Homo-oligomer: A and B are copies of this chain.
Amino acid sequence: MKKVELPKPYVIFLGDTQNILDAKTALGLLDWCKEDCIAQVSMPGCKIDLNLPELTPSQAAEAGAKSIVIGIAPTGGKINPKWRELLKEALSAGLHLVSGLHTDLEDDEILREAGNAGNSRLINLRKAPDCKQVASGKNRTGKRLLTVGTDCCVGKKYTALSIYKTMRELEFKTTFRATGQTGILISGEGIPIDAVVSDFVSGAAESLSPENEPDHWDIIEGQGSLFHPAYAAVTLGLIHGSQPDALILCHAATRTQIDEYPDFSIPTIPECIAKYEESAALTNPKSRVVGISINSSDLNLTARKEYLMELGALTKLPCFDPMSDSLTSFIETLRSY
């Protein structure tokens, strides 16, 4: 299974976006890999400013950018025809075009031709490399940590990136392994695991976190949830292929039901822990949940403290909100894991 690989540095395309919520991808890049973002390209009327140099695509290419990244996701998730002139200019100037939108870039004849002219690629982050690797189930050296969730959108990517960042600060040998579109943009490489054909999903996860030094940690971005009626298969395949030594359970403090699936309740945290450890045991019987990451943005400071303390007492595990808590002391405990 080949990975998606994205040439850096980036210039971020903002179009004429009015709504900050549509610019989540751009903001995620600023949060996690600002050093890789050298400029922004926006259109008249754009209300978002990333405080990066405002350049034309050609100027960005001259300044050393290698790829132009669509940093926005308008409602509907499609490339707006109004953007085409600037994207064409970028491609002609030799910038690769990277998009996680639903539009199939390669179906757009104008962009395809511009890419050919500039010898630049159209990179669709929703497509997995076409490779057919069946999982071997064989153990491999190196340590692996996977974030798992009580539901989708509970902070699995954020938690993995926070742990990775802290590990780097503490001089662990570590690599972030991206499995979703924004994660791949941040990391510059990865596999969009939910786009892999189901027969090969565990094989893809194996190849994403290969054999490594015994004290090296792969920090793997989780996907979906075992309690989600549509996506549990993706989650299970990722767990089996990742063979995680350590799991971090991610949960949104006030959520009781699967988002948009009101008939599906989220089990109790101890039940979730048991289920994840049992599922991971197939390919790694020593796999354990070692911490709980809570998205507590819905709670005030007092309620938040209380929630984390009670959860810690219930589970006997480190509980934290990576948005507000330092992970240093927790990560230090993993040194001897």
Contact = CB atoms under 8 A, between A and B. Distances in A.
Given A236-B236, A263-B137, A229 B198 contact: no
Nearest to A233: B237
A276 interface: no
A137 B236 CA distance: 17
A29 interface: no
Contacts of A264: 137, 282
Interface string A211-237: 000000000000000010111111011
Interface in A199-253: 199, 201-203, 227, 229-234, 236-237, 240
A306 to B, nearest CB: 31
- Of A193, A194, A227, A230, chain B has the most CB atoms within 10 Å of the CB of A230
A134 interface: yes
A198 B237 CA distance: 9
B194 A197 contact: yes
Interface in A130-184: 134-138
Given A195-B199, A197-B194, A261-B137, A283 B233 contact: no
Contacts of A233: 198, 201-202, 233-234, 236-237, 240
Contacts of A201: 198, 233
Given A197-B195, A261-B137, A202 B230 contact: yes
A199 B231 contact: yes
Contacts of A230: 134-137, 199, 202-203, 240
A196 interface: yes
Copy total for this chain: 2
A199 B229 CA distance: 11
Contacts of A202: 229-233
A121 B264 CA distance: 42
A222 to B, nearest CB: 14
Contact of A198 (B137, B234, B263, B283): B234
Contacts of A138: 263
25 contacts: A134-B230, A135-B230, A136-B229, A137-B229, A137-B263, A138-B263, A194-B197, A194-B199, A195-B198, A195-B199, A197-B197, A198-B233, A198-B234, A199-B231, A199-B234, A202-B229, A202-B231, A202-B232, A202-B233, A229-B282, A232-B236, A233-B233, A233-B236, A233-B237, A233-B240
Given A137-B264, A229-B282, 9 more contacts: A128-B197, A137-B229, A194-B199, A195-B198, A198-B198, A199-B231, A201-B233, A202-B231, A232-B236
Interface of A: 128, 134-138, 193-199, 201-203, 227, 229-234, 236-237, 240, 261, 263-264, 282-283
